[in-house]
Structure 1
Amino acid sequence: MGSNFTYDQVWYKLNSSNCFQKDIRNFLLDLVRTSDYEHKYSRPMPYIGIYIAVASLLGLVAMAVDLFHGLRSRKLWFPCKYFTLNAASLSVIAVAIKLPMDINNSMPGDVDQATNLGSMAFMCTMMANLLPSLATMDNKELLANIIALVVLVITLVVNVCIQIITGVVSDSSKPRFTVSVEQFKYQYRYVYIDSNRPLAIIYVVLLLVLLIIHACSALTILDSKRIIESKYQAGHEIALRDLKLQEPERLDVEKLRKHVSNYWIMAGTGSPQFMTACSATTSASGVICAFSTILDILIMIFTIKSLDDNEFASDYDWSMPVIFITQFIGVLIGTIAPLCRCFASLSFKVSIKWIWDHTKVFKVERYWTRKLSDWKQSSVPFLFRSRTCMVVLENSKVSILGFCIGFQKTVVVACKMISLIPIVFMVCVLFCFNCWKWLKVMFSASGIVLAETPEQVPQQKDFSQYVLKLQVDMEPAERTMKGILKSMNRLIRKAEKQQPKNLMKLLQKSKGFEGVENLYCHHVPPLLSTEYPECWSLPLISLTTIAISLPNIQNDIVDSLLRSVSEGLLYVTLVEESLNATHECVRIQKAAKMLWLEVEVHHKWLGNKVKDRVPQVNTARNTLEWFRDTAKNVTEVETMDIEELDNNSVCKSVSANSMYHITQTILLSYQDTIDELSQEVLFTRLSSMISGILAACLTNLPQVIAMKCHTSSIEKREASVYAAAHLLGETMQIINNLQDRELPSLNSDEFPFINKWCAYFRDPFP
């Protein structure tokens, strides 16, 4: 901190006084000069402290959001969705723990000391929260993030050890300054009472233990994913046989619901985060986190008076209480999730034998050490041919990995012993609760207490073949299975309230698939010499563009059509992306998205305002001919080779070709009565065609839902099944309504393609 006198003031006072010897005077002048410089350089430090507080607040908010997400989704093992181990979170953490990293600034005040220790408690809490997120990474991400975490924690531990040695970690808010004079050699030092050192040492040990747990868990995750993946593939084959995807017309809502349930069970019980949260290492990290939180609470209790007295004297000044309070709140909130994960093992059937097997000293499951064993047995590629070096390296590798395997087993056994604490506690609580229920039933049967008859739970379908277990004896408890199924039912009920009402009204305007029947005429030659694949969305957008350009139609009717098509295109896009994702089709789909953005937002078609067209007489014939001629002109100025076009050129060429084909087909079909055709009749006809095309495309929704249930990436499996269940809830009524329509006699792999539908209606009996 700075001095109360400037250098010039002290110089004047010392020169005017004869009570100081020359050497002492020079020494004090150097001291004041140094103090002046330190005061100047320390001015930005409070703002750096606010930067630390903001970073801590970001970590706090991320942990709180994960906590809220777990409570909302009733996943009390609290999966990591927002606060995960990655480059961004590590950067935030590095800023949040700057105080224990700072070895150049003293911490003379009680609040300074408490904040320094509180930062280490905050780091313990964040590490415990981050542990399940390791399961969401692939091998490369896992290795990179673990190495980054190791570097960060080791750096933190080394810096704290330096602070302990140099006396920065202490407990005296009023240090005693002493000056000794020996033969004109002047020394000065601060003297502290070192009662905070044991707390700092404890936090260092806790950080190292948590780091070891993270490393051991990372090694386990690699093999546990492999085990779960093999069991998932077996369940996937069973589910496919049950569904019989070869007959899409039989995929009603009830069968789809059962299919989604099968994958929901597999995704829930086989979630890597769920398996990690139920492991002994996660339980141990929760206990360690709780212990560090208790220490932080005690530190807060003994520091409250110092907070009131503003006892902070470091260069961070008034920002110290802000950091301290922010990180203390973060510790309290962040401890909830790791503490709840301590009891995640109770998601499985727990018995005395299970507890004994869980903590048996010599029982360490194979998957804990399989990766290390594979490395130990694998051969190392040598860059030289010296047999002596090869023998030395091979023996060294075997010795090191043998030690690592033994160390891994020791850590696992220790974690199992630590995890026994919350498990036994919770088992005792559940035992007391069950005893209370038994007493209530007994007294109720005796007539002493009137109690309601417990509700009978309906028998659920046997999902045992879809339950993915890491160990044979890890059988999920009945309440766990019920909770998993209830979460799916809640999601479907919630999605049912979000059904596309405008789209369903539009679908009622057609009874069959006449929109596809009358879409393209084979007598109309294409404008483009190069063939391109057809997609569902492009003709829908072309027909909608013609409909909204008719000036005599009321605006509310036009807006209703736009809303309906907009809702429908969301599902059409899902169908195209899921079932028709070839390179050429993707390019056409992108062109359709660009065109729809222009039509929906700006009411333009290829740069032309659809309401401000050239024809003087706005009849149905004029409208169709204008679009036909404009499309022909646009195509003539564009390059014909689709492969050489950029996105904008593809959009123009393909959109113009589609518009030309559709308008020419309509003109030919009404060639005898086109002059008498009113705009209202044309709008109704266009709406019916749009409805029929949407209906034909959305018959593929059951296939899309079935496909979304499965994904090859184990890290994305839960999100994929979630999307499938949500889509099922949204489209239940649509699927039911389309069940009554007679489908064309196409092969199951032909339904996703509009050109197959058009070919069938042109020639139903080839």
Structure 2
Amino acid sequence: MGGHGNCVDGKLDDSGYSSPVPSIGLYITGATLVCLVFILVDVFASFRSRKRWLPCRFFSLNSITLTLLSIVVKLPLDLTSPMPRAQDQLSKLTGTTLICICMGIFFPSLGTYRESECFNNMAALTIFVVTIVVNTCIQMHTGLIFSFQAEHITVLCCMMILLVALWYFASEIHSQNEVSHDGIKAFMMKGSGSMRHRLRVSYLRSYDSNPQFMLCRRPLSILVATLCVISAVVLMKVTFHYLVSTSRRSELCEGVSVYKWSMISIVVSQIITVAVGGLVITFRLFSMIGHRFDDYGIRQEGVEDAEAIIANNPIFQRTFFFCLRFYSRNIIEIFVAWISLLPSLPFACLEGCVGSAPAIRQGEEECDFWTWNKGQNDMRRWIKKIDTSNQLIKLLSRTPPLHQDDSLFCQLKAFYDSRKPGYQMSSLSVVLLVRIAIISLQSSLSASLSNSLNEVFEVLQFVDRKLSASSLENKKKFILAEALWKRDNFNYLRLKIVKMFGNNDTFEKQSQLNQSIAIIKGLKEVSHSDYVQYELAMMTDFLLLRAYESVQELYSCIEQLFVDMLNDFLIQLPNVIYREIIESNAEDCEETVKFALKVLYKVEPLEALVRWSFPVGTTITHLTFSELPNV
């Protein structure tokens, strides 16, 4: 019979099947190193942001990490390839141990997903873990895994308990997140103090109710860390006895696995990853001890009160209370965490009985001392980096916004409405007005507008983004405004318009006012996107409706329009901040409040210069001050 493919004389030629296997080993090594890099990046980002509970961002429970881990555990899932040497047998154990370590590292990320997404990820993880356990048991039964069987059983038990613990976390963390977030919403509406005070307290509460932080401080997290450390210690013990001790290595079989020389790279990379992951989990455990057992009660009435308590507590007194709480409650915490896995006792009841689960904070309930202090330090750090709008203060002090019905701004809105009824001004309108000033006027005149918009552009975009969320047209204008201001300097437009006069000398012989008017007229001929072209046409037509006696009068007109348009956005800032927090998700609450507070600090000096519009139905009456200063 003739050959067909790999079938020669009716027999399958499988001699080349194992030739690419060493390359597969390198592929496994690469996937392991990618996991290691993700872990290290998360650790670096955590230390940079000074979050000692080491939150997961890059190495979290998602489809990407599960795909990587499915490559990493290729060897533990291999049911047929012989593993005769010590490193071959060890590779089975390193793969399963690495899964335990990864489960311990990314378990805080369960709180960052929506409930349905979290359960989907947990279902995928469950299938993945059960597959590993079943395959490993089959290999021990068939004799493929003939060494380290006790260690394999230990790691598999740890893995299954970890899976149960993660399911518990996933099932109850979301309800706590929502209740904590509802407390922040209620405080924003019914609390006391200015907008700034409420945001500061809301940030501390959102910091305290961070989903990853809430999971890390649970007593059951001690069990998760303990199981991971046990798995890592088992692997390190086996590594020492079977790779360092020559006598123990000689007890195994002779031969070489199909993975050949790549086996060493697999084992070494996975051992390093397990060691690093074990250190990360251990650091997370001990960094949270101070929080778990230092439970001073600090009320929300003021950040300043907490600062006074910190200053008035001597180091000796604080150390004494810490040690007392640690040694009196540590054993109870660990005992409860272990017992809570017994099927006969509900998780929630056990943690509730000892009162160690974090209380849901609503209204004016207490926030523990450690979190309050840590949140304040974090808030002070990034507040110091915020630049206030100094140039804008000078501009508004010199040119206050006009509110009369016949003001330039009202005329502009009426002009827009006559051209296109219902047309809404956006941040694109403000950006194009300043660009017109930069191109048509001398830099000595336009610099003030340019610098002012630079200072407040982030605030302008924040307000515009919230207001334009329901309109596709406004969303496009919002994106164009950011692109035109940050990347398109329009410098080429002036040169293009000057060429219309034939040569530069002809243009320069005209007066400054005529030059500016000519440039404004020429801007209408600029080919750009539809929205920019339409906005430019309306803006330039409106500016050319008036007759100007000097270039200074033209600038004054543009300046007043800029101030009025900007004021129209700024007055809505308190409402936008309020809506942003009320409509945010529990998972994003901390970052939402942080950004809102940054925006507020940027415009803090404008308190007395803008007629702010505060949210209806709340008791907020001032932006930053308890009482407005005399102007």
The bucket for the TM-score relative to the shorter chain is: 0.7 to 0.9
Gap change, CA 1:686 and 1:256, over 3 Å in 2: same
Query: Which residue identity is paired with 2:210?
Result: S
2:202 to 238, 246, 263: 263
1:336 aligns with 2:279: yes
State the 1:120 CA deviation: 1.2
State the 1:717 CA deviation: 1.2
Q: Distance in 2 between matches of 1:490 and 1:596?
A: 28
Q: Distance in 2 between matches of 1:360 and 1:205?
A: 18
Q: Which residue of 1 aligns with 2:430?
A: 540
Q: Which residue of 1 aligns with 2:42?
A: 66
Gap change, CA 1:685 and 1:291, over 3 Å in 2: same
Query: Which residue identity is paired with 2:539?
Result: S
Q: TM-score, normalised by structure 1?
A: 0.63
Task: Give per-residue Cα distances to partners, 1:428-457, cap 9 Å, x unaligned.
Answer: xxxxxxxxxxxxxxxxxxxxxxxxxxxxxx
Q: Distance in 1 between matches of 2:90 and 2:198?
A: 55
Q: Which residue of 2 aligns with 1:447?
A: none
SS of residue in 1 equivalent to 2:533: helix
Q: Which residue of 2 aligns with 1:381?
A: none
1:518 aligns with 2:408: yes
Q: Which residue of 2 aligns with 1:242?
A: 191
State the 1:274 CA deviation: 2.3
Q: Distance in 1 between matches of 2:143 and 2:447?
A: 73
Gap change, CA 1:236 and 1:693, over 3 Å in 2: same
State the 1:546 CA deviation: 1.9
Query: Which residue identity is paired with 1:553?
Result: Q
SS of residue in 1 equivalent to 2:463: helix
1:327 aligns with 2:277: no
SS of residue in 1 equivalent to 2:496: coil
Q: TM-score, normalised by structure 2?
A: 0.75
Q: Which residue of 2 aligns with 1:46?
A: 22
Output aligned runs, 1:602-617, within 5 Å. 602-604=488-490, 609-613=493-497, 614-615=500-501, 617=507
Query: Which residue identity is paired with 1:583?
Result: S
Q: Which residue of 2 aligns with 1:735?
A: 604
State the 1:353 CA deviation: 7.5
Output aligned runs, 1:252-651, within 5 Å. 255-305=194-244, 313-343=256-286, 344=288, 346-348=290-292, 349=295, 350=325, 407=343, 409=345, 477-493=368-384, 495-496=385-386, 499=387, 504-505=390-391, 507-511=393-397, 512-514=399-401, 517-519=407-409, 521=411, 525-526=415-416, 529-550=419-440, 553=442, 565-578=453-466, 580-581=467-468, 583-584=470-471, 587-588=473-474, 590-591=476-477, 593-594=479-480, 597-598=483-484, 601-604=487-490, 609-613=493-497, 614-615=500-501, 617=507, 619-621=512-514, 623-624=516-517, 627-628=520-521, 631=524, 648-651=529-532
Gap change, CA 1:528 and 1:657, over 3 Å in 2: farther
Q: Distance in 1 between matches of 2:148 and 2:583?
A: 52
SS of residue in 2 equivalent to 1:129: helix
1:721 aligns with 2:612: no
Q: Distance in 1 between matches of 2:368 and 2:126?
A: 36
Question: Could you tell which deviates more after superposition, 514-523 or 153-162?
Answer: 514-523
Q: Which residue of 1 aligns with 2:322?
A: none
Gap change, CA 1:204 and 1:710, over 3 Å in 2: same
SS of residue in 1 equivalent to 2:200: helix
SS of residue in 2 equivalent to 1:609: helix
Q: Which residue of 1 aligns with 2:316?
A: none
SS of residue in 2 equivalent to 1:612: helix
Task: Give per-residue Cα distances to partners, 1:439-494, cap 9 Å, x unaligned.
Answer: xxxxxxxxxxxxxxxxxxxxxxxx986577xxxxxx7643333222222222212x
Q: Distance in 2 between matches of 1:532 and 1:717?
A: 34
Where structure 2 has 5 or more consecutive residues not aligned to the other structure, the ranges are: 1-8, 296-324, 617-631
Checking the alignment, whether the CA contact within 8 Å between 2:181 and 2:586 is kept in structure 1 is no
State the 1:506 CA deviation: 5.3
1:660 aligns with 2:541: yes
Q: Distance in 1 between matches of 2:470 and 2:349?
A: 53
Q: Distance in 2 between matches of 1:279 and 1:523?
A: 56
SS of residue in 2 equivalent to 1:513: coil
Checking the alignment, whether the CA contact within 8 Å between 1:549 and 1:610 is kept in structure 2 is yes
Query: Which residue identity is paired with 2:270?
Result: Q
1:207 to 159, 172, 175: 159
Checking the alignment, whether the CA contact within 8 Å between 2:28 and 2:72 is kept in structure 1 is yes
- What's the RMSD between the two structures over aligned residues? 4.3
Checking the alignment, whether the CA contact within 8 Å between 1:106 and 1:314 is kept in structure 2 is yes
Q: Which residue of 1 aligns with 2:4?
A: none
Question: Could you tell which deviates more after superposition, 273-282 or 696-705?
Answer: 696-705
Q: Distance in 2 between matches of 1:106 and 1:416?
A: 50
State the 1:317 CA deviation: 2.2
State the 1:571 CA deviation: 1.8
SS of residue in 1 equivalent to 2:47: helix
Checking the alignment, whether the CA contact within 8 Å between 2:50 and 2:378 is kept in structure 1 is yes
Q: Which residue of 2 aligns with 1:383?
A: none
Task: Give per-residue Cα distances to partners, 1:508-558, cap 9 Å, x unaligned.
Answer: 2442335885345369744864313433523322322222323x836x987
Aligned length, in residue pairs: 553
State the 1:151 CA deviation: 0.8
Where structure 1 has 5 or more consecutive residues not aligned to the other structure, the ranges are: 1-29, 171-194, 245-254, 369-405, 424-462, 469-474, 636-646, 751-766
Q: Distance in 2 between matches of 1:538 and 1:532?
A: 16
Checking the alignment, whether the CA contact within 8 Å between 1:284 and 1:415 is kept in structure 2 is no
Checking the alignment, whether the CA contact within 8 Å between 1:135 and 1:273 is kept in structure 2 is yes
Q: Distance in 2 between matches of 1:697 and 1:219?
A: 42
Checking the alignment, whether the CA contact within 8 Å between 1:634 and 1:656 is kept in structure 2 is no
State the 1:77 CA deviation: 2.4
Q: Which residue of 1 aligns with 2:123?
A: 147
Output aligned runs, 1:131-146, within 5 Å. 131-146=107-122
State the 1:655 CA deviation: 4.0
State the 1:346 CA deviation: 5.0
Checking the alignment, whether the CA contact within 8 Å between 1:110 and 1:312 is kept in structure 2 is no
Output aligned runs, 1:679-690, within 5 Å. 682=554, 686=558, 689-690=561-562
Task: Give per-residue Cα distances to partners, 1:225-284, cap 9 Å, x unaligned.
Answer: 33453354345323433357xxxxxxxxxx444222211232122223222222233211
Gap change, CA 1:528 and 1:114, over 3 Å in 2: farther
Checking the alignment, whether the CA contact within 8 Å between 1:128 and 1:285 is kept in structure 2 is yes
